[in-house]
Structure 1
Amino acid sequence: MAWNEPGSGKRDPWRDGGGSGGGGGTPPDLDAFFRRIRDFFSRLTGGGSGGGGFGIAILGVLIAWTLFDSWALIDARQHGAVLRFGEYSRPMMPGLNLKWPRPIESVEKVDATIRSISDQVRMLTRDENIVQAEFNVQYEVADARRYLFNVDRPDETLKQAAESAVREVIGSSNLNSIMPDQVVEVEGEPVPANPSAELASQVKRILQQTLDRYETGLEVTELNFQNVRPPQEVKDAFDDAISAREDRQRSSNLADADAKRLVPEARGEAARILAEAAGYKAERVAKAQGDADRFRLIADEYRAAPEVTRRRLYIETLQQVVGESNKVIDFSGGKNVFYLPAPGAASSPQPVPDPVPSVMAPTPSNKGGR
């Protein structure tokens, strides 16, 4: 209900005892309340008006210290570790966190952003060639407790472990397998190799295994070889070796191109010759078989009529010989006119006169023979 209702008169909550219910009452004595608190702190500090004021001031400072030091703000790019009397107690997540004030509990903050180190080392390869490798490692803090308490100077430890991993990988490889100017064959085609990527993958794996074995709390996110080359002292000799290797590769490429051009041509020519030989073989076999069959037929006819067959063969042979000759034989006694074509000029074929049996030379008599 309201303090001043119609008909109830003016009421004061400080003098009417809070006003709950009707009637009056004694108001709360605030001076007496604060006096009791002051007396209590005076007894704690040994009494006396001056000592009581100093004790209250100290207690106020302690209360303020407790209120303001019981909170810790961890940034999103940080990891927090809570130490209770110097001993690790628990991790602290990003954000506003509650803790005991110092010196009971303190907070160690660790930067969790990506860190980077670069270094270069000289080493011998497996085939006893000296190279200089420049590499870069990017890493982050994955476990704040291990990073703070397990290893002294963990960043320096990572640098030394990275150098050791690089030496292990390059020291077990040949020079030709780690230089960036190598050429490999992929599906029969020469393409530039990328040995740095394979080397970086091996080094990253070995480095992470080392960091995990020492429980450093660090995690490698990226490792790259910026350059793998011979030292400056032997650069000229190495350039000569590279030039010779490039000349060899160029000659090999030209030879491969000639082989790719000549081999199909040779195969096509061989196939053509084989096809022509097969056709010639079939032709000769068929012709031989035809001649054999024809000879058997003529032999059969000759046995049946030797004289007729002999004369027919003579006439056919004479017709073939005369037809292929450029000479003209006149059997008409000068009664026919022949048009002789000039050599090399086109002309119509001349008719071959019918042989006159009366002027033909008699064939040799070979009765009963073949």
Structure 2
Amino acid sequence: MAWNEPGKDKKREPWQDGEPPDFDAALKQIKDRLAQFFGGGGGSGLTIAIAVIVALLLVVALADSFKQINESTRGVVLRFGKVNRIMTAGLNLKWPRPIEEVLVVDTARVQSYSAQRVRILTSDENLLDIDFNVQFRAENPQQWLFGARGPETNLEQASESAVRQVVGSNTMDKILSEERTAMASAAKEELQRLLERYHTGIVVTGLNFQNLRPPEKVQAAFDDAIAAREDNQRFKNQADAYASKVVPEAGGAAARVRTAAEGAKQSAIAKATGDANRFELLLAQYQKSPVVTRKRLFLETMQEVLANNPKVMVDVSGAGNHMMVLPLEQLLRNAGAAVTPTPNTGRTTLEAPAVSASPAAAGRSPNQDPLRAPREPRQ
């Protein structure tokens, strides 16, 4: 039997009197209670209260309809929880909450992420512990807020992957050499490519290798290798400095030698040209008067040869005795007699020039004065 079928058990019916409740009476009772709460009299007090509430709601909604966005930020507008648009800098209009909500993202602030002791296997099967730092900022606010797994998690995983790929493809010597900056730049490009693939909205502004070191067990050998590399670089710098100093000096000396050689060349050419011209003129005179020219050339040659000769040539082949008076002062001055001190007394010794006589005078006795010739007897 159904619950509303007539029967003896009247308690099973929802209404004891068999009629539905009076909703108008219940509504009137609620109004009366609200009027008593706001202190009004009857329906007029309730109307005023409702008007005040509505006015307050309108003021709040109007105030929530404007959003100020700074120059360094962007606003992501969510309409009922779904991305609707991106707000730029300035005063923007929107629907009040809960219809639309704005999430502000700072796109100009540069943030930093650091990784410590990331162990990487190099291409020559050596282990390196690397510390690196990544500087980044949010470029796409929507991807930054709603990217997969969150921006920090994506950045951490992508940065380690990029560093492992770049460093692991090089040898330890190459990593520890001067190409460290180039590898950091390559790791930055690889990291940016991975972040764009994951749609994280992140732009990498810098990536630096802060510390590269081997494990502690091989640290001593590693330090020796670094010291040797630094010594090598220092010696190269010293050699470059020496070359920078010596090469210009050698260039100047070479230029001076070339200039002197060029001057000697021009002088020799001029002298040879003058001699050739003189001989051509002399040839013309010789062709006109051979005998006179030969004699003049002979005399000029003998004068030039015997002018500074300290020896005196005397012709005694003729008959008779002759008295020869030699100009010793003039001979000594022409010969430039050497003055040498004796070792013991300090006296000076004058070296007189040699005097050559004819064979007839040479046959005299050594006791006879060679400067005095025999006189002829008086008659």
Q: For residue 131 of structure 1, report the CA deviation from its aligned partner.
A: 5.4
Counterpart position of 2:112: 116
Contact 1:129 1:175 in 2 (8 A): yes
Counterpart position of 1:141: 138
Q: For residue 117 of structure 1, report the CA deviation from its aligned partner.
A: 1.3
Counterpart position of 2:235: 248
Q: Encode CA deviations 1:180-211: one digit per residue, 9 max, x unaligned.
A: 8x5xxxxxxxxxxx963x55554444433433
SS at match of 1:324: coil
Matched, 1:161 2:153: no
Matched, 1:320 2:304: yes
1:48 to 16, 23, 28: 28
Counterpart position of 2:14: none
Mapping of 1:17-96 within 5 angstroms? Answer: 46-50=26-30, 53=33, 63=54, 68=60, 71=64, 76=70, 79-92=74-87
Q: 1:255 to 1:98 in 2, by over 3 A?
A: closer
- Measured in 2, the distance between the counterparts of 1:311 and 1:294 equals 13
Contact 2:285 2:293 in 1 (8 A): no
Q: 1:272 to 1:173 in 2, by over 3 A?
A: farther
Counterpart position of 1:99: 95
The two structures have a TM-score, normalised by structure 2, of 0.57
Counterpart position of 1:18: none
- Measured in 2, the distance between the counterparts of 1:268 and 1:129 equals 57
Alpha carbon RMSD of aligned pairs, Å?
4.6
The two structures have a TM-score, normalised by structure 1, of 0.58
- Measured in 1, the distance between the counterparts of 2:34 and 2:97 equals 22
- Measured in 2, the distance between the counterparts of 1:127 and 1:282 equals 72
Contact 1:74 1:92 in 2 (8 A): no
- Measured in 1, the distance between the counterparts of 2:166 and 2:287 equals 92
Counterpart position of 2:248: 260
**Structure index of larger Rg:** 2
Counterpart position of 1:273: 261
Q: For residue 151 of structure 1, report the CA deviation from its aligned partner.
A: 2.0
Identity of aligned residues (%): 26
Q: 1:176 to 1:92 in 2, by over 3 A?
A: same
1:213 to 169, 174, 197: 197
- Measured in 2, the distance between the counterparts of 1:129 and 1:288 equals 82
Letter in 1 for 2:208: F
Q: 1:128 to 1:250 in 2, by over 3 A?
A: farther
- Measured in 2, the distance between the counterparts of 1:252 and 1:284 equals 48
Moved more, 316-325 or 58-67: 58-67
Letter in 1 for 2:136: Y
Q: Encode CA deviations 1:272-315: one digit per residue, 9 max, x unaligned.
A: 2354245335424542553355245325412xxx4x55554554
Contact 2:94 2:100 in 1 (8 A): no
Moved more, 308-317 or 328-337: 328-337
- Measured in 2, the distance between the counterparts of 1:101 and 1:52 equals 32
Q: For residue 323 of structure 1, report the CA deviation from its aligned partner.
A: 1.8
Letter in 1 for 2:237: R
- Measured in 1, the distance between the counterparts of 2:184 and 2:269 equals 66
Q: Encode CA deviations 1:254-285: one digit per residue, 9 max, x unaligned.
A: 24533333243234324423542453354245
Q: Encode CA deviations 1:141-197: one digit per residue, 9 max, x unaligned.
A: 2332222223221122123323333444445667777668x5xxxxxxxxxxx963x
Matched, 1:287 2:283: no
Letter in 2 for 1:242: R
- What runs of 5+ residues in structure 1 fail to find an aligned partner? 1-41, 183-193, 347-370
Q: Encode CA deviations 1:197-253: one digit per residue, 9 max, x unaligned.
A: x55554444433433333222233x31426354436254133223233224313532
SS at match of 2:307: helix
Contact 1:230 1:238 in 2 (8 A): no
- Measured in 2, the distance between the counterparts of 1:161 and 1:44 equals 67
Counterpart position of 1:344: 336
Contact 1:133 1:227 in 2 (8 A): yes
- Measured in 2, the distance between the counterparts of 1:227 and 1:44 equals 79
Q: For residue 78 of structure 1, report the CA deviation from its aligned partner.
A: 5.1
Q: 1:61 to 1:151 in 2, by over 3 A?
A: farther
Q: 1:316 to 1:219 in 2, by over 3 A?
A: closer
